[in-house]
Amino acid sequence: MQLDLSHAGTAVDAFICVLIGVCVSAVILWTLLKTGLAWQLATDIPNDRSLHTRPTPRVGGWGVVPALALAIFLYAPDFRLIAFGALLLGMISQIDDRRGLPARVRFAAHVLVVAAAIAWSTVDTAWWLALLAVVALVWVVNLYNFMDGSDGLAGGMAVSGFGFYAVAALAAQPSLAAAAAGVAGAGIGFLIFNSHPAKIFLGDAGSIPLGFLAGALGFWGWQHGAWPIWFPAMAFAPFVVDATVTLGRRLARGEKVWLAHREHYYQRLVQMTGSHVRVAVAYYLLMLGSGGAALTALHVPLAVQWMLFGAWYGALAMVGWQIDRRWRQFTLTQDKHNDAN
C-alpha cells in the first residue's frame, strides 16, 4: 500500500509531537495520582516474583497511549490505523490489568490487530513473508510486556527505540518520524513517574501497545524504504535479546512461558545489585549503543550493515554470558550463606 506523505510534517512537527506526548502523558498520570484514581483503576500487589515491595498503580498506559494517539492523529494522520490498533490493544489490556483475561483471548486480540497492521503496511510482499511478519510482531508485542518489570526500563526503551526511529525516518519519511516522536514523547512523560522509586508502573495497557508500535512502525518503515529490515531489531536490541534468550530457555525446559518469573537478565541484575537505578543506567547505555550503532550502520554498504548487526548482537550475547556467569556465582554464594544459617 503506497501512501502520499508529501503533506506530512518536518522536524518541527516531530518536535511538536514530542511535546504533545510528554505533556499529555504527564498531565494524565499526574491527575490519576493526585486524585487517587490510579489505585482504583489497577494496582500491582507485590509477590515473591516481584522486584518491588509496595503496592503500585499500573496505569501508565492510561497516559502513554492517549498521548501518543493524539500526536499521531494530529501530525501523522497516515498512521491513524496504527494508532487505533494501539488504542484497541490498550483497552483490551486494561481489562486484563483490572479483571484478568484468558490467555487465548489476549493472544487472539494480538494476532488480529497485528495482522491488520501488516496487511495495511505491506508493499508487494510474499504471503509467507507477511505471515512471518505477523509471528514476529506478535512476539514483539509480548516481549515488551515481559520486559516491563523494573523501574525506568520499559519507559527508557520507548524513549530510546522510538527516538532512534524518528531520527532515522526524518529525511525519507517525515510522517513516520512524527509518529515515532510522539511515542517517544509519551515515554518521557511516563518516565517522570516511573523513574526509581516508581510511583506508577506501565501495566499491560501500556506495554502491549508500545510493543505493537515498535513492531508495526518498524515493519512499515522497512516496507516503505525508511530503513533496512534489520534496523528495528537493532534499535530495540536490548529488549529483543533479553526476552528472546530468557523465554527460549524456559521453552527448552518445558516451562509455561506466560507465567511470572524472575529469570530475565534485568531481573537477575536487580537481584544481584539491589539497585533499580544501576540496572536502568546499564540498560540505557545498551539502548543508546544499539540505536547509535543502528544509525551508523545505515550509512555503510549493505554487507557491512549486516556485519555490524551481527557484531552488535554478538556483543550483547557476551554481555548476557557475563551476567549468567555472575548469576551462578551469586546463587552459589547465597546457597552457602543459607546453609550456614
Q: How far apart are CA 339 and CA 121, in angstroms?
A: 58
In this prediction, residue 1 carries a pLDDT of 46
In this prediction, residue 75 carries a pLDDT of 95
In this prediction, residue 194 carries a pLDDT of 96
Mean pLDDT computed over 303-317: 97
In this prediction, residue 340 carries a pLDDT of 65
pLDDT digits (tens, 9 = 90+) for 177-194: 999 999 999 999 999 999
Cell numbers found for residue 95: 481489562
Q: Do residues 237 and 18 touch, judged by C-beta distance below 8 A?
A: no
In this prediction, residue 337 carries a pLDDT of 67
pLDDT at 4 over 50: no
Q: How far apart are CA 241 and CA 233, in angstroms?
A: 9
Q: How far apart are CA 58 and CA 46, in angstroms?
A: 12
Which of 125-129, 298-302, 327-331 shows the lowest mean pLDDT across its residues? Answer: 125-129
pLDDT digits (tens, 9 = 90+) for 326-339: 999 999 887 676 66
Please state whether the peptide bond connecting residue 174 to the residue before it is cis, i.e. omega within 30 degrees of 0: no
13 is in an annotated binding site: no
pLDDT at 9 over 60: no
Range with top average pLDDT, 6-10, 60-64, 123-127: 60-64
pLDDT digits (tens, 9 = 90+) for 10-69: 889 999 999 999 999 999 999 999 999 999 998 888 776 678 778 889 999 999 999 999
pLDDT digits (tens, 9 = 90+) for 151-170: 999 999 999 999 999 999 99
Cell numbers found for residue 315: 556483543
In this prediction, residue 341 carries a pLDDT of 62
Task: Enumerate the H helices of 124-255 as residue ranges.
Answer: 127-146, 153-169, 174-194, 204-223, 231-235, 237-252
**Average model confidence (pLDDT) across the chain:** 93
In this prediction, residue 6 carries a pLDDT of 46
Which of 13-17, 140-144, 254-258, 271-275 shows the lowest mean pLDDT across its residues? Answer: 254-258
Cell numbers found for residue 36: 487517587
pTM for the structure as a whole: 0.94
Q: Helix or strand or coil: residue 136? A: helix
Residue % of the chain over a pLDDT of 70: 95
pLDDT at 123 over 90: no
Cell numbers found for residue 50: 516481584
pLDDT at 7 over 50: no
124 is in an annotated binding site: no
In this prediction, residue 295 carries a pLDDT of 98
Complete DSSP assignment for 78-93? GGHHHHHHHHHHHHHH
Cα radius of gyration (the chain): 19
Better-predicted residue by pLDDT, 293 or 1: 293
Residue % of the chain over a pLDDT of 90: 81
